[in-house]
Amino acid sequence: MHGGLASSTPPRSAGGPSPAEKPLLRFITCGSVDDGKSTLIGRLLYDADLAPDDLIAALERDSKKHGTQGDDLDFALLVDGLAAEREQGITIDVAYRYFATGKRKFIVADTPGHEQYTRNMATGASTAELAVLLVDARKGLLDQTRRHSMIVSMLGVRHVVVAVNKMDLVDYSQEVFAAIERDFRAFAAPLRFLSIALIPLVAKDGDNLVHASEKMGWYAGPPLLSYLENVALDDNARVLPLRFPVQWVNRPSHDFRGFSGFIAGGNVKPGDIVRILPAGRDTRISRIVTSDGDLAHAVAGQSVTLTLTEEIDVSRGDMLVSPVSPAEVGDRLSAKLLWLVREPLAVDKSYLLKLGTKTTPASVRKVSSHIRVESGLAEPLSDASATLAFNEIGEAELWLDTAVVCDPYADNRETGGFILIDRVTNETVAVGMVQQSTWTERSPRNGVEASYASMEGVPTPPREAGPTPLRSLVKALSWRVPGSLVTFGAAFVFTDDLRVSAAITGTEIACKIALYYLHERLWSRFRIGMKPTDDAGL
Amino acid sequence: MSVAAKTLGHLDKLEAESIHIMREVVAECERPVMLYSIGKDSAVMLHIAMKAFYPSKPPFPLLHVDTTWKFREMIAFRDRRAVETGMELLVYSNPQGREMNIDPTVHGSQLHTQIMKTDALKQALDKWKFDAAFGGARRDEEKSRAKERVLSFRNAQHRWDPKAQRPEFWRLYNARKGPGESLRVFPLSNWTEADVWDYIAREGIDVVPLYFAKERPVIDRDGMLIMVDDERLKLRDGEMIQQKMVRFRTLGCYPLTGAIESAAASLDEIIAEMRASRSSERQGRVIDHDGSSSMEQKKQEGYF
ipTM of the complex: 0.90
Question: How far is the C-alpha of A113 from the C-alpha of A127, rounded, in Å?
Answer: 18
CA atoms of A405 and A153, how far apart (whole Å):
23
User: In 3-state terms, what secondary structure has residue B89?
Assistant: strand
Query: What gap in Å lies between CA A138 and CA A144, rounded to an integer?
Result: 15
Interchain proximity B9–A418, CB inside 8 Å: no
- For an interface test with A, the pick among B143, B152, B266 (most A C-beta atoms closer than 10 Å) comes out as B143
pLDDT, residue A479, reads 66
Three-class SS state of A246: strand
A371-375, A510-514, B218-222, B268-272: least confidently modelled range: A510-514
Separation CA B84–CA A194 (nearest Å): 50
- Residue B251 has a pLDDT of 92
Q: pLDDT value at position A100?
A: 84
**Greater model confidence, A504 or B169:** B169
Q: Which residues of A touch B188 (CB under 8 A)?
A: none
Which of chain A's residues have a Cβ under 8 Å away from the Cβ of B143? 79-82, 95
CA dist., res. A343 & res. A155, Å (int)? 22
C-alpha distance from residue A424 to each of A36, A397, A420, B176 (Å): 39, 22, 12, 10
What average pLDDT score do residues A117-127 get? 88
pLDDT at residue A89 above 70? Answer: no
Mean pLDDT, residues B76-85: 96
Contact across the interface for A82 and B296, Cβ inside 8 Å: yes
Confidence (pLDDT) at A110: 84
Instruction: Please determine, for residue A252, whether its predicted confidence score (pLDDT) is greater than 70.
Output: yes
Q: Do B13 and A296 touch (CB under 8 A)?
A: no
Q: What is the mean pLDDT of residues B154-167?
A: 85
pLDDT tens per residue, range A8-50: 333 333 333 455 567 889 999 988 766 677 778 888 877 776 6
Burial, B64: exposed, middle or buried (Cβ in 10 Å; 0-12, 13-18, 19+)? Answer: buried
Taking the CA of residue B227 and the nearest CA in chain A, the distance in Å comes to 19
- Cβ pair B167:A120 closer than 8 A: yes
pLDDT number for residue A114? 74
- Any alpha helices (H) in A496-530, and if so which ranges? 498-525
**What is the sign of the dihedral through the CA atoms of A90, A96, A101 and A103?**
positive
- Average pLDDT of the residues in B89-106: 91
Question: In this complex, is the C-beta atom of A321 within 8 Å of any C-beta atom belonging to chain B?
Answer: no
Of the listed ranges A10-19, A136-145, A395-404, the least confidently predicted one is A10-19
Query: Per-residue pLDDT for A531 more than 70?
Result: no
For A5, nearest residue in chain B (alpha carbons): B266
Judge: B207–A6 Cβ closer than 8 Å, yes or no.
yes
A3 touches chain B (CB under 8 A): yes
Rounded-to-integer distance, Cα B133 and Cα B153, Å: 11
Q: Do A428 and B292 touch (CB under 8 A)?
A: no
Check B162 against A262: CB less than 8 A apart: no
pLDDT (mean) for B156-179: 89
A20/B139 touch (CB, cutoff 8 Å), yes or no: no
Return the pLDDT at A8.
34
Contact criterion met (CB below 8 Å) for B44 and B191? yes
pLDDT tens string A339-397: 999 999 999 999 999 999 999 999 999 999 998 876 778 888 888 778 999 989 999 99
Confidence band of A533 (pLDDT split at 50, 70, 90): very low
Query: Residues A168-189: pLDDT tens digits?
Result: 999 999 999 999 999 999 999 9
With an 8 Å Cβ cutoff, is A60 touching chain B? no
Contact at CB, A9 and B12, closer than 8 angstroms = no
Residues forming beta bridges with residue A362, ordered by sequence position:
A351, A400
Kindly tell me the sign of the dihedral angle through the C-alpha atoms of B38, B92, B296, A129: negative
What is chain A's mean pLDDT, rounded?
Answer: 81
pLDDT of residue B109: 86
Q: What are the angstrom distances between the C-alpha of B206 and each of B38, B54, B254?
A: 11, 19, 20
Per-residue pLDDT at A32: 75
Q: Is the peptide bond before A278 cis (omega within 30 degrees of 0)?
A: yes
Band (B93; pLDDT cuts 50, 70, 90): very high
B220 beta partners:
B225
pLDDT on residue A80: 57
A124 has a pLDDT exceeding 70: yes
Q: How confident is the model at residue A104 (pLDDT cuts 50, 70, 90)?
A: confident
Of A147-151, A474-478, B238-242, give the lowest mean pLDDT range: A474-478
Q: Is the pLDDT of residue A468 over 60?
A: no
Give the least confident one: A258-267, A309-318, A450-459, B29-38.
Answer: A450-459
CA B275/CA B272 separation, integer angstroms: 5
**pLDDT surpasses 60 at B41:** yes
Q: Are B150 and B187 in contact (CB under 8 A)?
A: yes
Cβ-based neighbours of A356, under 8 Å, separated by 6 or more:
A245, A264, A317, A319, A404, A405, A406, A414, A415, B172
Instruction: List CB contacts (< 8 A) between B9 and chain A.
Output: 20-21
Distance CA B300, CA B304 (A): 9
Mean pLDDT within A313-333 = 96
Mean pLDDT of all residues belonging to chain B: 89
Closest residue to B174, CB basis, from A251, A260, A419:
A419
pLDDT mean over B130-138 = 95
Whole-number Å distance between alpha carbons of B131 and A342: 27
The pair phi, psi for residue A153, each rounded to 5°, is -65, -45
pLDDT at residue B2 tops 50:
no
Residue B55, preceding bond cis, omega within 30 degrees?
Answer: yes
pLDDT more than 90, % of chain A: 48
pLDDT at residue A472, rounded to an integer: 57
Can you tell me the mean pLDDT for B180-195?
Answer: 93
Of A53-57, A261-265, B171-175, least confident by mean pLDDT is A53-57
CA distances from residue A155 to A66, A259, A336, B16 in whole angstroms, order as listed: 34, 28, 10, 21
A256 phi, psi to nearest 5 deg: -135, 130
- A417·B279 Cβ contact <8 A: no
CA distance B103 to chain A (A): 28
Percent of chain A with pLDDT over 70: 73
Whether A290 shows a pLDDT value over 60: the answer reads yes
The least confident of A493-502, B5-14, B287-296 is B287-296
Mutate to test the interface with B, among A305, A422, A433 (most CBs of B within 10 A): A305
Q: How confident is the model at residue A449 (pLDDT cuts 50, 70, 90)?
A: very low
Q: Which residue has the higher pLDDT, A218 or A513?
A: A218
